[in-house]
Amino acid sequence: MTDTIKIFHGPQHPGVTGNMSLELDLDGETIVAAKTHVGYLHRGFEKLIERRTVIQAFTIVCRICVPEPDPNEENFARGVEELLGLEISERAKYIRVMVLELARLQAHYLWLAGQGGSIGHGVVPQWAVGERDYILDLFEELTGGRVYHMYIYPGGVKRDLPAGFLERLCDLVDDLERRLPEYDRIFFDNTAVKKRLQGVGVVDPDEALRHGYAGPVIRACGLPRDVRRDAPYLVYDQLEFDIPTETAGDAYARALVRRAEMYQSLRILRQVAERMPADGPIQCKLPSHRKLKLPKAETYVQSESARGAFGYFMAGDGSERLRRLQVRGPSLVHAFTLLEPLLIGAQLADVALIMVSLTTCPPEIER
């Protein structure tokens, strides 16, 4: 019988998507067993939020996923609004969509940098991180922060757009779209990249449905599931965009889906810039955080993050605090239910690229 060796991949490893670790049993270079370990992060967000007033809790939700915090802000704000019976203005809805699509776009650039790095492609990470920084420049101008924004606020958004912001947004959209074909040339159409990604980390569509996989993972199996289309929120039902799919279900298919989604986000941003109302309120009037009381009611809201469907269950009890908050992010099933069996039979050199292709976010697991 061949002896196996045990190694730990992470938590401090450039090919690990966040602070998590994999305990791997190897037969040579082949993985025969894999176990995920978490617990290296700040955690317990749900209970921290339940012990604070709604407005105090607002500053916590963005920490639930650092690479893309804005869907957390939007879900939390929309959940509070549904509990209070608030309807935000059309202008605020368009601004929220703009923020969410910019967040999706920068998250996909971050994935592209990680996927390039996971196979030793040195140019793509530098290019993609540079493109992402241009998006973060817009976030900094709009919100004052590059990563944590705390901008999508219960009742609307925190502040209106700076003068000339939409023009700068359109200029950036044009620049990003013009440069995207360069990534095809050096990455997506690269023979070496295809050999590393094709046939690796294959997900079965029936398994994807059974276990609730989401986002590019399920769309790469040929299933066009997207909350923006299936359960529209904000003004997504007024915008034109496609839901890209592939059928191979492997790491390369997931890459192609994200590549196509980048074009769709640029397409949505152009429509937002064209159709956004020129004026109107951006915030409903709310009482102070000590007087804002949530009724005895509950709601469930969800949005489509870059990683997939992201949901919040929220219940009030008549006080200024939530009685219960539960977050449903795609990373839990992707990093446990999917990743562990997906690694069995894979090569050690493929661990990082499989993890990056799933774009898990550990704080979603430790919430």
Tokens representing 170 are 């359109």
The mean-pLDDT minimum among 130-144, 265-279, 282-296 falls in 282-296
Residues 209-234: tens digit of each pLDDT: 999 999 999 999 999 999 999 999 99
Q: What structural domains does the chain harbor?
A: 5-365 (1.10.645.10)
Average pLDDT over residues 3-16: 82
Query: Per-residue DSSP letters for 298-313?
Result: EEEEEEEETTEEEEEE
Check residue 331 and give its pLDDT.
Answer: 86
Using the CB atoms, write b or e for 216-239: b if 16+ within 10 Å.
Answer: bbbbbbebebbbbeeeebbbbeeb
Q: Which of 227, 244, 265 is nearest to 101 (CA)?
A: 265
102: left (phi over 0), alpha (psi -120 to 50) or beta: alpha
Check residue 1 and give its pLDDT.
Answer: 46
Residues 121-159: tens digit of each pLDDT: 889 999 999 999 999 999 999 999 998 899 999 999 999
Residues 19-39: tens digit of each pLDDT: 888 899 999 999 999 999 888
Check residue 70 and give its pLDDT.
Answer: 94
- The 5-9 sheet, strands edge to edge: 5-9, 21-27, 30-37
